[in-house]
C-alpha cells in the first residue's frame, strides 16, 4: 500500500537529465527525511540517497535529491544506459510508525 | 561488507505456515533495528514489520498483524519472520533490511526470498 506518489515512468537519452517526483503528506515527507532507492531488474533495492540529499559512498554524484514541504525529487544527470531501473522514494510515516514507499518510477534510457 | 541473506521461502498452500530467516554479517547485528519489507510480483515495496535491537519491541503492518511474528537471535545474528494463516495476497519477495537510523527507512537490504501462496 504505497502512500507516496511517483510518476510511473520517465525517460531520456544518454547524457540527458531526468527528474523523478515523489509526493507525500505531513505525516511522512512533511516531517521526516526522504530516501531514494534504485532497483535493477531481479535485484534488491539499493540505497541511492538518504536524509533528503546525502549520497552513500560509491554512489555517483550524477544522482542528487531534494525536498520541499511534502514533496521530494530525485535527479539523474548525465543519464547512462546502466541507469535503466525502477526508482523508489521512501520516508518514515509517523501515523504508521513504519516506513512508507513510493509507487515506483521506471526509468528508460532511449 | 554488510550482508543480509534471507532463506526459507517457497510454495505453501493457503492457510499454511512458513518461517523466513535472515542471517547478517559484516556489522554488529545487535546494534541495529531490522525490518521486513515485501514486494508482490510486478508491484512496489510494502513495509511488513520491524524489531528493535534486543527484540523487546515489535510492530506490524495491519495487513499481517495477528498472523506474522518477527523475532531475532542476536547470538546467531539471525532475524526471523514466522508467517501463519497465509493468504494468496501474501505472495511476494520478502526482504530483510537494516535501519541505520532509528525511525528512518532502511539502508542495506538482503537479496530477498520468494514466498508463493497457492493451491
Task: Say yes or no: B5 contacts chain A, CB-CB below 8 A.
Answer: no
A67-85 confidence digits (pLDDT tens): 999 999 999 999 999 999 9
B1-33 confidence digits (pLDDT tens): 999 999 999 999 999 999 999 999 999 999 999
- State mean pLDDT over A6-16: 97
**CB-closest option in B50, B100, B109 to A44:** B109
Q: Which three cell numbers stand for residue B30?
A: 545487535
| CB hemisphere CA count around B1 (13 angstroms) | 4
pLDDT at A60: 95
- pLDDT category, A1, cuts 50, 70, 90? low
**CB-closest option in A43, A44, A91 to B105:** A91
CB A18 within 8 A of CB A79: yes
Phi, psi dihedral angles at A82 (to 5 degrees): -75, -5
Which of A2, A4, A8, A44 is best to mutate for the B interface (most B CBs within 10 A)?
A44
B53-112 confidence digits (pLDDT tens): 999 999 999 999 999 999 999 999 999 999 999 999 999 999 999 998 888 999 999 999
CB B83 within 8 A of CB B66: no
Task: Give contacts of A101 with chain B, Cβ < 8 Å.
Answer: 37, 44-47, 105
Mean pLDDT of chain A: 95
Amino acid at each position: 500500500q504505497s502512500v507516496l506518489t511517483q510518476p510511473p515512468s520517465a525517460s531520456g537519452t544518454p547524457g540527458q537529465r531526468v527528474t523523478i517526483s515523489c509526493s507525500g503528506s505531513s505525516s511522512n515527507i512533511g516531517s521526516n527525511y526522504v530516501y531514494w532507492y534504485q532497483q535493477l531488474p531481479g535485484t534488491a533495492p539499493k540505497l541511492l540517497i538518504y536524509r533528503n540529499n546525502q549520497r552513500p559512498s560509491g554512489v555517483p554524484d550524477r544522482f542528487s535529491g531534494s525536498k520541499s514541504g511534502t514533496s521530494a525529487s530525485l535527479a539523474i544527470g548525465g543519464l547512462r544506459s546502466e541507469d535503466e531501473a525502477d526508482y523508489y522514494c521512501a520516508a518514515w510515516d509517523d501515523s504508521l510508525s513504519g516506513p512508507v514507499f513510493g509507487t515506483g518510477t521506471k526509468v528508460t534510457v532511449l | 561488507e554488510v550482508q543480509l541473506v534471507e532463506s526459507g521461502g517457497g510454495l505453501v498452500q493457503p492457510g499454511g505456515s512458513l518461517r523466513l530467516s535472515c542471517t547478517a554479517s559484516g556489522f554488529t547485528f545487535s546494534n541495529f533495528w531490522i525490518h521486513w519489507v515485501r514486494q508482490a510480483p510486478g508491484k512496489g515495496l510494502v513495509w511488513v514489520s520491524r524489531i528493535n535491537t534486543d527484540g523487546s519491541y515489535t510492530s506490524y503492518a495491519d495487513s499481517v498483524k495477528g498472523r506474522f511474528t518477527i523475532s531475532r537471535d542476536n547470538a546467531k545474528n539471525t532475524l526471523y519472520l514466522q508467517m501463519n494463516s497465509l493468504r494468496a495476497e501474501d505472495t511476494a519477495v520478502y526482504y530483510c533490511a537494516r535501519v541505520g537510523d532509528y525511525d528512518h527507512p532502511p539502508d542495506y537490504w538482503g537479496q530477498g526470498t520468494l514466498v508463493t501462496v497457492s493451491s
